Amino acid sequence: MVNYGGDEVSALVVDIGSSSLRAGYAGDDIPKAIVPSYYGYKTTAGDGDVQMGESAPENGETISKPPSDAKLYLGQNGPSIWREGMEIGNPVREALIVDFNPVPALISHALVDVMRINPSEHPILVTEPAWNTPANRERMAEIMFEEFHVPAFYIANTGVLNAFAAGKGSALVIDVGHSMASITPVVDGFVLRKGLVSSPLPKLVHAHARHILSNLTPTRRPIDLLSHQLIANKMPVEPGAPPKFTLREDRIPGTTESWKGWCESREVDEWVQSVAGVLDQGWNEQAAASRPARQYEFPTGYNTYFGPERYQVGEQFFFHSPQLVASNPNLPKNIPTLLSESLRACDPDLRQVLMGNVVLTGGGSLFPGFADRLETELSRNFPHVKIHAPGNPIERKYGGWLGGSILASLGTFHQLWISREEWQEHGKAIVGQRCK
Amino acid sequence: MAVSASDIRSALSLPSSSTPVPSAQPAPRKSQGQVTKKPEGISRELYALIGPSAPSLVAHLAKPRLKQKPNLSSGGKVKWEWRTFRNGARTDSLQLGHWAKATDDQNAEYPFTKYNVQSPSFAYSQDEYTQLLEDKDWTNEETDYLFSVVREYDTRWYVVHDRYEYLNGPARSLEELKDRYYSVCRKLIRNRPWAGDEASKAQLLNSYQFDKDRERMRKDYIASLEQRTPEEIAEEEALFIELKRLEQNERKFKKERDDLLRTLLGIDSGLPDIVAEEDGPSALSAEGFKKKKKNANEIDIPPTPSNIISLGPPPPKRAQSAKSVAYDAQHCIIRVEPPPSAITKVTHVPVHLRSFKLPAPKAAILPKVTQALTELGINHTRMVMPTRENCARLESLIEASTALIDTKKIVDRVEQDIRVLRVRLGRQSEGPGEDTKEGTPMEVEGGADGEGELKPEVDGRAQSIVSTRSGRGRKQSRRSISVSSIDTSASARVGKRQKRV
């Protein structure tokens, strides 16, 4: 045990992201519980509340906060099951927790309902994005100590943890998540805050994909992004032919806008995940056309082949067309821009070290060809670039959790826990002091 | 079949009776640990009859046994228990639990506590600050803040610089922070009483040395490196590769030469420092070739300055002490002065016995000279007493015989011409006759007889054959010489190469 520096004290690691919450034992290589961060809620249990549906915001971007007495539907059987009048919420926006009300319920669902453990028996390590606010981390500590009665608590940075998951103390972590893309320089286990940059780039990619699907093209009419919960039956059709399906008319009136928006974006994500890719040598019409087209079938039964357009989606990570830049002044920065911005803020001595230790992580980086394209972009400007991109999708998606699992199972780490005693003695200030 | 009581006992694996059992009939099952054990592959009855003198063949027929499994069940059981522990590196009373061996000491210190080491940090009093550490750029408060940040991040300077945020203070570069910190440390070390010796103090001071301007210049260089254009980078790369290639060639050549010298001369050949040839790789070109060949032919000629107007200073002679002169005289050592031109591989003359450097005739005429000398009863390749005088005589003898052979060649040619002309004249005067054709060779033979004191049996045609063969003979002779001298080794290589071509 002592040989590799590990000493497991049955600590838990909780990693809250925009798309899912990961929880598990420190020392494991896969989180035991993965529950979606999205949750369904109803203000009054039972009858459908049409007023609530109407008052909900039209687009899914802004989060409607449920009243504290709302009934929550969490986990795998939460938002994905159609319920009359159920709204969808997400406590996390741009990787930050903006609404702490449902967070205890989410964590409790993962720890108690899925993992079947008593949180008051285990030290808990929670992750936070590098741009987390002090108020947020203190609130998280408060939830852990006051609501879950944990014996010890620590909050660690996802950038650092991703570097640890790759086995590096110093690294340039490129994290492309569900809603945020960030670049974090890590030196000796500390984030260099001046070099930290982030942008909601994955959202732009998502919006672009939705734009491709729901707009008329010369070869295709707009595609209905209806989810299977709303479809009673469908007939198989030829590729490109109009779909033949019947809607579940009984469900249409009770469907809320937020649930519909969540379903649509899920359909878009599914399509992106199965079809989209990145050209590894930069944008080239011919190269994109020469790649084989992929067939994809939507829940309505409509299916067709997607050719070059599937590479346009991934291209948004690296290059924005001048028209797009001109039309949208608040366009999220693409990855090459973020990289140069981050490196400019770093010491010249450090740049070579960081470029030799690039860690690519996050579920959004799982586009086929993403790592190759990144390497192409980087080696254009730097002579010695080494990218660490785990081939295993679990490691890539849950890199932050994995790093936390490693950290919390180290014997030398146990002196850093904020104990219950310290919390009661020093209060919130201890969080900022201990977790640098 | 007779069944004895012991058979039944052994079949039922009962303990043997109290009556002593003959040693030829041990109970096979029971006697696991005994020496006389029934080998496998023999029936119990048979073993009872023949006893321990079983044929060894049976042992081969027996089933091969697998390696015995390690016995994990007995004794190796480790009991683990969930135990709470206290971490000595913590200041509070947090108790965490982990699985530990039940045999381990309950009160032992937590094994990871020892890794909690604090890096040494400097602190100063207010008096020290006012006396020593005043600086117009830094206030006392900011210096305090700097020291607290450095302590907090254990002198990880990149992190210190990243987290350094002094309110209402000027923006500080990493070099400024380092400079201030190290200069304060140096002043403190210098002015505080020092317990150890001066050397350790100087060493400590050295470890706190920091040159701000140099660091800044270095950073600027790094930044300018990053701003190179791709063309500049490509050019630099190309130059670098070229340099590497040249260096490699040089190294290879040097290695080859050293190997050769070592092979030919032995390690203790007393080589003077050998100047590497300037033309390096180009030595393989045709020009270098010729040069070497020329030098190879000149080996036995005592080195004379071919170029009288030599501009370069003469190479420094090795000072010979009187003692070494006496030593040389006693041991009959004669030193050969190196040629005044630059010492190179080809002009170098290593230590040798005189008998190894006997003068030899030119390779082209070697067979003839040998023949001539053989007729005189002299063997020029071996000398019983190769003293200096004898060598000189031999040399003059060879020179004389060479001259003789040359003269004879000319005489032969002239005579041949005369004969041919005479025959032609005779033909013109007598007309074509049948006998004349046959008569000519006879005459030639006779003429050769009359003339050739040295080689009576060699006629013109034979001579020509010899001369055509001499080409091959030359090569061979060269190679055989090559054993004794480096110069010819070059030509030996030449010969090989020629062959390959």
Nearest chain A alpha carbon to B117: A412
Q: Which ipTM did the prediction report? A: 0.85
Q: How far does the CA of residue B86 sit from the closest CA of chain A (Å)?
A: 10
Strand-pair partners of A15: A22
Instruction: Name the more confident of B392 and B337.
Output: B392
* Cβ proximity of B366 and B405 under 8 Å: no
Count the residues in chain A.
436
Structure-token pair, residue B473: 């003979």
User: Is the model's pLDDT at B481 over the cut of 50?
Assistant: no
Predicted pLDDT at A342: 93
pLDDT, one tens digit per residue, over A246-283 is 999 899 888 999 999 999 999 999 999 999 999 988 88
Strand-pair partners of A73: A40
Predicted pLDDT at B359: 72
Structure-token pair, residue B112: 């990871």
Residue tagged 């009288």 (tokens): B308
Coil, helix or strand at residue B154: coil
C-alpha span between B376 and B374 (Å, rounded):
5
B chain contacts of residue A188, beta-carbon cutoff 8 Å? 156, 158-159
Nearest chain B alpha carbon to A189: B159
| Chain B contact for A28 (CB, 8 A cutoff) | no
pLDDT, one tens digit per residue, over B258-307 is 888 888 776 555 554 444 444 444 444 444 444 444 444 444 444 444 44
Contact B94 A421 (CB under 8 A): yes
CA distances from A325 to A69, A321, A334, B316 (A): 44, 6, 11, 79
Q: How far does the CA of residue A194 sit from the closest CA of chain B (Å)?
A: 6
Give first-to-last CA distance, chain A, whole Å. Answer: 28
pLDDT, one tens digit per residue, over B146-157 is 999 999 898 899
Contact B87 A192 (CB under 8 A): no
A chain contacts of residue B96, beta-carbon cutoff 8 Å? 9, 123, 151-152, 414, 417
Predicted pLDDT at B76: 67
The whole-angstrom distance between residue A161's C-alpha and the CA centroid of its chain comes to 15
| Chain A contact for B219 (CB, 8 A cutoff) | yes
User: For the purposes of burial, counting CB atoms within 10 Å of the CB of B106, is it exposed (0-12), middle (13-18) or buried (19 or more)?
Assistant: exposed
Nearest to B174 among A10, A347, A414 (CB): A347
Residues 6+ apart with CB under 8 A from A51: none
| Chain B contact for A152 (CB, 8 A cutoff) | yes
Mean pLDDT of B380-386: 76
C-alpha span between B85 and B88 (Å, rounded):
9
Lowest mean pLDDT among A284-298, B8-22, B23-37, B361-375: B23-37
Contact B233 A383 (CB under 8 A): yes
Phi, psi of A326 (to 5 degrees): -65, -35
Coil, helix or strand at residue A191: strand
Nearest chain B alpha carbon to A10: B98
A chain contacts of residue B101, beta-carbon cutoff 8 Å? none
Residues 6+ apart with CB under 8 A from B44: B7, B10, B11, B28, B38
Contact B97 A188 (CB under 8 A): no
Nearest to A414 among B96, B162, B219 (CB): B96
Q: How far does the CA of residue A98 sit from the closest CA of chain B (Å)?
A: 26
Phi, psi of A94 (to 5 degrees): 50, 45
Nearest chain A alpha carbon to B154: A188
| Chain B contact for A194 (CB, 8 A cutoff) | yes
Phi, psi of A153 (to 5 degrees): -145, 150
C-alpha span between A235 and B236 (Å, rounded):
66
Top residue of A2, A7, A191, A381 to mutate, by most chain B CBs within 10 Å, is A7
Question: What sign for the dihedral angle of Cα A382, A388, A393, A396?
Answer: negative
Residue tagged 């750029």 (tokens): B137
pLDDT, one tens digit per residue, over A207-229 is 999 999 988 888 788 888 899 99
| Chain B contact for A291 (CB, 8 A cutoff) | no
User: Is the model's pLDDT at A408 over the cut of 90?
Assistant: yes
Residues 6+ apart with CB under 8 A from B405: B365, B368, B369, B372, B454
Strand-pair partners of A72: A41
pTM for the model stands at: 0.64
Q: How far does the CA of residue B146 sit from the closest CA of chain A (Å)?
A: 17
B chain contacts of residue A151, beta-carbon cutoff 8 Å? 94, 96
Report the candidate in A107, A98, A36, A103 with the shortest Cα–Cα distance to residue A269.
A36
User: For the purposes of burial, counting CB atoms within 10 Å of the CB of B430, is it exposed (0-12), middle (13-18) or buried (19 or more)?
Assistant: exposed
User: pLDDT-derived band of residue B60, with 50, 70 and 90 as boundaries?
Assistant: low
As a whole number of Å, the CA-based R_g of chain B is 50
B chain contacts of residue A10, beta-carbon cutoff 8 Å? 97-98
* Cβ proximity of A303 and A296 under 8 Å: yes
User: Is the model's pLDDT at B49 over the cut of 90?
Assistant: no
Nearest to A348 among B96, B163, B222 (CB): B222
Amino acid at A402: L
User: pLDDT-derived band of residue B333, with 50, 70 and 90 as boundaries?
Assistant: confident
Residue tagged 């969808």 (tokens): A88
Domains and CATH numbers, chain B: 89-114 (no CATH), 126-226 (1.10.10.60), 358-409 (no CATH)
The whole-angstrom distance between residue B432's C-alpha and the CA centroid of its chain comes to 77
Report the candidate in B316, B334, B337 with the shortest Cα–Cα distance to residue B325.
B334
* Cβ proximity of A23 and A11 under 8 Å: no
| Chain A contact for B87 (CB, 8 A cutoff) | yes
pLDDT, one tens digit per residue, over B195-237 is 778 888 888 888 888 888 999 999 998 888 878 888 888 899 9
Instruction: Name the more confident of B461 and B148.
Output: B148
Lowest mean pLDDT among A172-181, B296-305, B388-397: B296-305
Instruction: Name the more confident of A178 and B351.
Output: A178
B chain contacts of residue A351, beta-carbon cutoff 8 Å? 226
Half-sphere exposure at residue A174, Cβ-oriented, CA atoms within 13 angstroms:
32
pLDDT, one tens digit per residue, over A36-94 is 999 999 886 444 444 443 333 434 444 556 767 788 999 988 899 999 889 999 999 88
C-alpha span between A415 and B116 (Å, rounded):
9
pLDDT, one tens digit per residue, over B417-440 is 999 999 988 877 665 444 444 444
Q: How far does the CA of residue A417 sit from the closest CA of chain B (Å)?
A: 9
Concatenate the DSSP letters of all residues of B218-280 into one string: HHHHHHHHHT--HHHHHHHHHHHHHHHHHHHHHHHHHHHHHHHHHHHH-TTS-PPPPPPPTTG
Half-sphere exposure at residue A324, Cβ-oriented, CA atoms within 13 angstroms:
14
C-alpha span between A30 and A35 (Å, rounded):
13
| Chain B contact for A118 (CB, 8 A cutoff) | no
A chain contacts of residue B226, beta-carbon cutoff 8 Å? 348, 351
Lowest mean pLDDT among A130-144, A156-170, B314-328: B314-328
Coil, helix or strand at residue B298: coil
Strand-pair partners of A172: A185, A358
Strand-pair partners of A171: A186
| Chain A contact for B156 (CB, 8 A cutoff) | yes
| Chain B contact for A368 (CB, 8 A cutoff) | no
**CATH number of the domain at A202-317, out of 1.20.1250.20, 1.20.120.530, 3.40.50.80, 3.90.640.10?**
3.90.640.10
Predicted pLDDT at B500: 44
Residue tagged 């959790």 (tokens): A401
Report the candidate in B81, B126, B76, B124 with the shortest Cα–Cα distance to residue B102.
B81
| Chain B contact for A174 (CB, 8 A cutoff) | no
Q: What is the 3-state secondary structure (H, E, C) of A209-226?
A: HHHHHHCCECCECCCCCC
Question: What sign for the dihedral angle of Cα B493, B277, B265, B302?
Answer: positive
Q: How many beta-carbon pairs below 8 A join chains A and B?
A: 81
C-alpha span between A366 and A205 (Å, rounded):
13
Give first-to-last CA distance, chain B, whole Å. Answer: 93
C-alpha span between A278 and A288 (Å, rounded):
9
B chain contacts of residue A187, beta-carbon cutoff 8 Å? 156, 158-159
Contact B94 A348 (CB under 8 A): no
pLDDT, one tens digit per residue, over A348-372 is 889 889 999 999 999 999 999 999 9
